[in-house]
Amino acid sequence: MARQKITALVTGASAGLGAEFCRQLAGRCDVIIAVARRGDRLSELARQLADRVELHAIEADLTAVEGVARTMEALRQLGPVDYLVNNAGFSTFGQFQDLSIEGQRDMVSLHIDTTMTLSRAAIGFMQERGAGYIINVSSVGAFLPVKGLAVYAASKVFLNNFSLALQEELAGTGIEVQALCPGYTHTEFHQEMEQQGFNRSQVPNHMWMDPDAVVAASLAALGNGKVVVVPGEGNLELARAGLMRQLEAL
């Protein structure tokens, strides 16, 4: 009997943490389903990893129903998956009342609705196998509700609580859920925010991490029973301070 292929589905795979997850999962998987809006970037990633993994590029906008449907079909045809990395995301920057409500709704749909939909689809297959990993890319911002990021931070609070509750529900199934909470990371993530007034130079250099270190911390934490993973000591201190502020507000 042929060995069952180990498969991962990674969203937001064309750059940043998503592309890095693909690179590092290439050492663990036989097949990667890489989903993103920029098909040219996915094709280049497939070329780079051709000698390490079978990568299927799925060009899809996950803020649109059609894009989610296309990804679900890829999951059906190329799955089941052993790893699901819900990484696709973006952030607006500015006062809530000054920002487009459409952009805020797209962000909520992507971070919350798409994560729920793909997780729901993957869990049944994982339960049949008796194993699997779901990584929801959250943010240290989930612990730090600050002005300018009101909806973004709130959507990440959902991902943390969703991951914690889901892990409780899946206890004993062999499925592991993780909420990865990176801080400032050297990716393209902040480019659009800079056009809206975010100033990268105001963030101290020691607060920034590289994508490879963030992803390595995520994958290294699998199997240790920890659901919420905050890479970097500085980020961990920020998260703890944010939790204390919230407790003091009670």
Active site residues: 152
The Cα 87–Cα 19 span in angstroms is: 10
> Angle, to 10 degrees, between the axis of helix 115-129 and the axis of helix 65-78?
10
Edge-first strand order for the sheet with 31-36 is: 54-59, 31-36, 7-11, 83-86, 132-137, 175-180, 228-229
Distance of CA 141 to CAs 158, 164, 247, Å?
Answer: 12, 17, 16
List all residues 6 or more positions away from 72 whose beta carbon is below 8 Å from its beta carbon. 117, 118, 121
DSSP state of 2: P
List all residues 6 or more positions away from 65 whose beta carbon is below 8 Å from its beta carbon. none
The Cα 136–Cα 232 span in angstroms is: 18
Nearest to 13 by CA among 85, 114, 111, 121: 85
Assigned token pair, 239: 């998260």
Helical H segments across 170-230, by residue range? 191-195, 211-221
Distance of CA 103 to CAs 15, 55, 63, 109, 153, Å?
Answer: 21, 31, 10, 10, 14
